[in-house]
């Protein structure tokens, strides 16, 4: 059974933060979250996603300096410039999808990362979880780093990659990651992507368990999951 709790400490991983940025991290980390000792079932995840769904705009900040959006914000270079976006992850890249790319953004000071993913339950998006997580972490750690992760509607492919980032790099469970993002933007990863995130959650849980196996006291620092470099 899932139980509600509020995080007492910020889940900020290695993100640099000072001043107002630190205050923002504290605010994001105080979001009430659902916690479970076990990875939720697919049905439980669907219930979590459908509970108190927020309206979804063209773009929303879902974590400090990390934005999720749709194809409209991805093509609005004036708005991207105004927002100060420095890095863009296109989770719907490709000629017959959202065909932007480095040439499209050549007049903006942004770095581009394209993922040619299909919003299809049978598509294996998990192969991009760690590469994209590393990219987002490096981008957020860069000076004035602001990242936009987008797909066509900004609710499935992009959401899945952002959730994976929070799990891998911010030491969150899948349930906590969904709750954190869901409090700022309505999301709806397809069933196949949810299963892939469940497998990631199980794997990270196994890794954490193995790290805690050595005899003797084990510190939190020793057992904390880290974003791979």
Phi, psi of 196 (to 5 degrees): -65, -35
Residue whose structure tokens are 């007049």 = 107
Give strand ranges (E) for 23-77: 32-35, 59-63, 66-69
- Marked catalytic residue, from 151, 169, 188, 220: 151
Sheet architecture: strand order including 59-63: 59-63, 66-69, 147-150, 87-90, 111-114
The CATH number given to 40-204 is 3.90.190.10
Is 6 in contact with 32 (CB distance < 8 Å)? yes
pLDDT, position 30: 44
Contacts of 11 (CB under 8 A, 6+ apart): 29, 166, 170, 171, 172, 176, 180
Report how far residue 60's alpha carbon sits from residue 165's, in angstroms, rounded to the nearest whole number: 16
Phi, psi of 111 (to 5 degrees): -100, 140
pLDDT, position 229: 59
pLDDT, position 228: 62
pLDDT, position 54: 65
Largest CA distance in the chain: 57
Strands 59-63 and 87-90: unpaired
Report how far residue 178's alpha carbon sits from residue 149's, in angstroms, rounded to the nearest whole number: 16
List the chain pLDDT tens, one digit each, 229 residues: 333 333 223 333 333 344 444 445 444 544 444 444 578 777 777 777 766 666 678 999 999 999 999 999 999 999 999 999 999 999 999 987 898 999 999 999 999 999 999 999 999 999 999 999 999 999 999 999 999 999 999 999 999 999 999 999 999 999 999 989 999 999 999 999 999 999 999 999 888 767 766 544 443 333 345 576 5
pLDDT, position 1: 35
Give catalytic status of residue 220 as yes or no: no
Is 26 in contact with 168 (CB distance < 8 Å)? no
pLDDT, position 51: 65
DSSP 3-state assignment of 18?
Answer: coil
């Amino acid at each position: 059974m899932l139980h509600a709790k509020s995080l007492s400490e910020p889940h900020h991983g290695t993100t640099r933060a000072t001043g107002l940025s630190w205050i923002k991290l504290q605010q994001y980390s105080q979001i009430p979250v659902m916690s479970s000792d076990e990875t939720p079932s697919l049905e439980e995840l669907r219930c979590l996603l459908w509970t108190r769904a927020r309206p979804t705009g063209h773009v929303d900040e879902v974590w400090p300096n990390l934005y999720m959006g749709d194809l409209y914000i991805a093509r609005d270079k004036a708005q991207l410039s105004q927002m100060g976006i420095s890095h863009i992850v296109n989770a719907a890249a490709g000629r017959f999808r959202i065909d932007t790319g480095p040439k499209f953004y050549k007049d903006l000071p942004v770095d581009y990362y394209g993922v040619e993913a299909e919003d299809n339950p049978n598509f294996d998006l998990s192969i991009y979880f760690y590469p994209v997580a590393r990219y987002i972490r490096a981008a957020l750690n860069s000076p004035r780093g602001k990242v936009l992760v987008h797909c066509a509607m900004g609710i499935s492919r992009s959401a899945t990659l952002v959730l994976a980032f929070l799990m891998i790099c911010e030491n969150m469970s899948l349930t906590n990651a969904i709750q954190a993002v869901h409090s700022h933007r309505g999301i709806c990863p397809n069933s196949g992507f949810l299963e892939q995130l469940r497998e990631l959650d199980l794997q990270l849980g196994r890794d954490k368990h193995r790290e805690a196996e050595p005899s003797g006291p084990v510190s939190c620092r020793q057992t904390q999951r880290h974003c791979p470099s």
